[in-house]
Chain A
Amino acid sequence: MPTSQPRLFSFNAFIPSEHAVNLAAFESEPLAPPPQGEPPARPGRGAGWWRYASPAAAYPWAGALASGLGPLGAVLLAIGLFIGLALAPTDAQQGEAYRILFVHVPTAWLAMVIYLAMAGWAALGLVMGTRLSFMMVQALAPTGALMAFLCLVTGALWGQPTWGTWWVWDARLTSVLILLFLYVGYLALHGAIEDPVRADRAGALLVLVGAVNIPVIHYSVRWWNTLHQGASVQLAAAPTLATPMLLALLVSTAGLWLWAASVVLRRLRNVLLRRERHSAWVSALPEVLP
């Protein structure tokens, strides 16, 4: 005998409001039971994960994650910088100036990783039509832009004492500058279009097209003869850094990334509050009550 099952998620949470489907018409018809011999769908796996993509579900989990990741990131960043600035040995070639590495490299890696994450969310949003994906792109972009900017600033402060110049039109530096322009371009484009659905889609396309710049940044020091040094840490090869230097770099990177994740999740909550302001779940939030 067929029995009705609770719906795990609402389709309307993932599509633009003007395309919302009236699911009430299907309510009276119970879902067919699974054929004999096949295991029933287990909650929490497969389609069950989609329930966390609903804006109403994302708001609390983003807050809980942000509260945990922020302090953890701050502690790790402090430990990493302490090891890097106070305990790691002096570099034989660059002296103490090399210690800029402990802030420059984490910001550079994060600027690229955030862009890749934006491209992934943008692709997911365009293919699946999930609103939360576009909101994630919107929340990631300012932090990515900040990291690209900090990477360029710290790079200039490192370049002056070691290369004798603040800036050169080197392949690595120029491609990171293009990355900053891509971030700023996304923010400007998204802000300029009034209709949020069109803004999301146009911004996602720009992000996807600009993703071609990420491998260019990574391989620029191999493809061209550049002033910028090669990678000190690679996945497929032993690092060229001494152990305390490597430890400081990895810990400060982990700290910065966790801190940035916390800020992005907090910004995601702000984006949710703004874009879902007419929803009943926003009006029912305890922090909105007078």
Chain B
Amino acid sequence: MSMAAFSEPTLSQWLAMGGYGFYVWSSVGSVLAALVAERVAVAWQRKQRLAALREAREAAEDARAAQAEWPRPGGGETRP
């Protein structure tokens, strides 16, 4: 047996995975892509939740401010 059989595999040989490259790299790639996508989805969900909370907080503060202004000097008799 020649010494070439014991030499380090080249990058292309390693990527080929002995002819199973499609199956191996598809498996690894799909798992890694799904993990990253899940993490991004959770971060996006958090962003949405915080935006909704800020909006609700601002609406509540606006309502409180409008309530504090009432009754206006010389204003109408009934609340809107």
Contact = CB atoms under 8 A, between A and B. Distances in A.
Contacts of B1: none
Contacts, number: 93
Task: Please classify how large the interface on chain A is, using the bins under 10, 10 to 19, 20 to 34, 35 or more.
Answer: 35 or more
Interface stretch (A123-131, A153-161, A195-203, A219-227): A153-161
Majority secondary structure of chain A interface residues (helix, strand, loop or mixed)? helix
B20 A273 contact: no
A160 B38 contact: no
A34 interface: no
B34 A146 contact: yes
Nearest to A287: B50
Task: Please classify how large the interface on chain B is, using the bins under 10, 10 to 19, 20 to 34, 35 or more.
Answer: 20 to 34
Interface stretch (A47-55, A99-107, A114-122): A99-107
Nearest to A70: B39
Interface of A: 70, 81, 85-86, 90, 95-97, 99-100, 102-104, 107, 142-143, 146, 149-150, 153-154, 157-158, 160-161, 256, 259, 263, 266-267, 269-270, 273-274, 277, 282-283, 285, 287-290
A289 B17 CA distance: 53
B63 interface: no
Nearest to A260: B35
A96 B38 contact: no
Chain A to chain B: the 8 pairs with minimum beta-carbon distance, closest first: A96-B18, A96-B17, A97-B20, A154-B27, A103-B31, A273-B49, A100-B27, A288-B53
27 contacts: A86-B14, A90-B18, A95-B18, A96-B19, A96-B20, A96-B24, A97-B17, A97-B18, A97-B24, A99-B20, A100-B23, A102-B28, A104-B27, A142-B38, A143-B38, A146-B34, A153-B30, A154-B30, A267-B45, A270-B42, A270-B45, A273-B50, A287-B50, A289-B54, A289-B57, A290-B57, A290-B58
Nearest to B26: A157
Given A103-B31, A288-B53, A290-B57, A263 B42 contact: yes
B66 to A, nearest CB: 18
A149 B34 CA distance: 10
